[in-house]
């Protein structure tokens, strides 16, 4: 099992990750024209090693989610 250190946002409950993603995707609207591939701004992931959910950091998220932290996935 490989583990990695990442910078991002960690959630113990999936519903909290879902709500975080929703708040970001509501903030950043996308054109959604016919043929467009891009559907959302961000998504969340699950750590099989540590049984929590997380979002990778990006400067565009700080205004909504605050400062990220460093943790293992």
Partner 1 sequence: MSNRRSMLSTLNNGGGFSYLLDLYPGALVAYSLRQLISTYPSSSRCIRIRRSSDNAELDIYFVSNVVDTASILSFVGSGDGYVVRFCNQLDTSGVRDAYQSIALNQPLIVQAGVLCTQNGKPTIKYTSASQLLKASSTPLLDTYENTMVTLQKFNNVAGYKVVASAGDTGGDNIFCHIGWGRSSYGRTLYQLTTINEDGTTTLNQEIWVGRSSIISSTNSLYMNNVPQILSLPYVPFHTDSRSMLIGNDDYGSYIDGNVQEVVYYRSYLSNANASGVTLNLNNYYNVY
Binding site for partner 1 (CB under 8 A): 1-2, 4-6, 28, 30-31, 33, 35-43, 45, 48, 56, 58, 60-61, 73
CB of 22 to partner 1, least distance (A): 14
Cβ-based nearer residue to partner 1, 52 or 56: 56
Q: How many whole angstroms separate alpha carbon 57 and alpha carbon 47?
A: 15
In Å, what is the CA distance from 33 to each residue of 2, 17, 41, 64?
39, 27, 15, 26
Name the residue nearer to partner 1 (CB basis): 15 or 34.
34
Radius of gyration of the chain (CA): 13
Rounded to a whole number of angstroms, the minimum distance from the CB of residue 41 to partner 1 is: 5
């Amino acid at each position: 099992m490989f583990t990695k250190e990442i910078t991002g946002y960690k959630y113990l409950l999936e519903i909290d990750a879902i709500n975080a993603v929703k708040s970001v995707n509501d903030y950043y609207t996308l054109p959604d024209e016919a043929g467009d591939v891009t559907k959302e701004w961000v998504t969340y992931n699950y750590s099989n090693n540590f049984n929590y959910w997380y979002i990778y950091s990006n400067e565009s998220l700080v205004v909504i989610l605050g400062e990220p932290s460093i943790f293992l996935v």
